[in-house]
Amino acid sequence: MSENISILGLGLMGTALAESLLAAGHQVTVWNRTPAKAEALAAKGAKQAATPEEAVAASPFVIVCLLDYPSVLATLDGIPLDGRIIANLTTGRPKEARETAAWVAERGGEYLAGGIMAVPQMIAQPGALILYSGSKTAFDRYEGALAAMAQPRFTGTDPGMAPLLDLAMLTGMYGQIAGFLEAAALARSAGFPLAEFESSLLTPWMVAMAGQQSGWAEKIDSGDHSTEVSNLEINRSGLENIVRAFREQNVKPDLLLPLKAIVDQRTARGLGHEGLSGLAEELA
């Protein structure tokens, strides 16, 4: 079913979202602070709005993808939102999403918060995922259109849930990046070819270790951090060894030091017999 959808914000991501909706046969109205960015989409069949007010008035479903939440509020300020569903795919914090949901509701609209788990080039491709939370009614009504952009997943009626999970997944990504960078720096310090290290050693090892995470998740949920494999005391000793090796190779272990500190902290509290999942308790 073809829908009338407006998009505010035509950066790389907003443009990719608009293109995917046009390709799926939807009627798309676009607005951007710099009008020239809308011209290519207009050539593909989008209607170009001169103002945010015109774009919001054109469609009952409005997707917003701007720099940050303050720019979202500034753009929508003073615009009647009665009968409109605002799907805000701007990256933000859970607190911001909850406050914006209340702000939209005060102005007569419904609100969906989103977390885009993809880069622009992935939009409308397998593997692209967008998390949503807030109005279940709005999600159900437009789920088909949302699927044109990426796999849509509703995560709950709390508007802050999708942004929270977005940031949680990014946290995992940055942890992986930090581990790769530290590992690469150590391997390079000895002159080992990094392409070979990454493809034949590090990546297979990291994939294998990722298989441990489901077990850790169950232990964190249950609060039972007992282990029959390497406990925190063993890991504390291992991290001490790693940090010393880094320094002996004149490589900074800075990205590892926060992890070492929390392992040391929990071990010092007499919990060295636990598994790594127990570290989640130190972060609570």
Position 261 scores a pLDDT of: 97
The pLDDT confidence band at residue 33, using thresholds 50, 70 and 90, is very high
pLDDT of residue 229: 87
The CATH fold assigned to 165-283 is N-(1-d-carboxylethyl)-l-norvaline Dehydrogenase; domain 2 (1.10.1040)
> What is the 3-state composition of the chain as percent helix, strand, coil, each rounded to the nearest 5?
55, 15, 30
Domain with CATH 1.10.1040.10 in the chain: 165-283
Contact 8, 65 (CB under 8 A): yes
Residue 196's pLDDT band (cuts 50, 70, 90): very high
Percent of the chain with pLDDT over 70: 100
16 — pLDDT class (breaks 50, 70, 90): very high
For the domain made up of 4-157, the CATH class stated in words is alpha beta
pLDDT band, residue 113 (cuts 50/70/90) = very high
Which residue spans within the chain are E strands per DSSP? 4-8, 27-31, 47-48, 61-64, 85-88, 110-117, 129-134, 151-154
Q: How far apart are CA 73 and CA 77, in angstroms?
A: 6
Q: Which residues pair with 47 in a beta bridge?
A: 29
Residue 258 pLDDT exceeds 90: yes
The boundaries of every CATH 3.40.50.720 domain in the chain are: 4-157
Pick from 249, 229, 116, 115: nearest CA to 186? 249
pLDDT tier at 213 (50, 70, 90 boundaries)? very high
pLDDT at 3: 97
Residues 6+ apart with CB under 8 A from 134: 97, 101, 110, 111, 112, 113, 157, 158, 159, 162
- Over the stretch 124-138, which tens digit does the pLDDT of each residue have? 999 999 999 999 999
CA–CA gap between residue 118 and residue 109 (Å, rounded): 27
pTM: 0.91
DSSP one-letter code for 254:
T
The pLDDT value recorded for residue 18 is 98
The pLDDT of 241-261, averaged and rounded, is 98
pLDDT attached to residue 1: 85
Which helix (H) or strand (E) covers residue 280, if one does?
helix 279-283
Half-sphere exposure of 35 (CA within 13 A, CB side): 7
Q: Alpha-carbon distance 49 to 65, whole Å? A: 16
Q: What mean pLDDT value characterizes the chain?
A: 97
